[in-house]
Amino acid sequence: MRITAKIDYAVRACVELAVAYDEGFVTAERVGKAQHIPGSFLLGILNQLRRSGLVESRRGAEGGFRLAAAPARIAVADVIRAIDGPLANIAGVQPEDTSYAESAAALQQTWVALRVAMRSVLENVTIAHLASGTLPDDVAHLVGDSEAWVTRPFGDEVELRGGGEDARRG
The span from the CA of 142 to the CA of 155, in Å, is 25
The span from the CA of 108 to the CA of 96, in Å, is 7
Looking at residue 162, its pLDDT comes to: 54
Domain 5-129: CATH class, spelled out: mainly alpha
Looking at residue 99, its pLDDT comes to: 86
Sign of the torsion angle spanned by Cα atoms 155, 169, 81, 57: negative
Looking at residue 169, its pLDDT comes to: 45
Domain boundaries, the chain: 5-129
User: Which residues of the chain register pLDDT less than 50?
Assistant: 164-170
Looking at residue 167, its pLDDT comes to: 46
pTM of the model: 0.84
Looking at residue 161, its pLDDT comes to: 56
Looking at residue 68, its pLDDT comes to: 98
Sign of the torsion angle spanned by Cα atoms 21, 23, 27, 32: negative
Using CA atoms in the order 48, 17, 43, 77, what is the torsion angle rounded to 10 degrees? -30
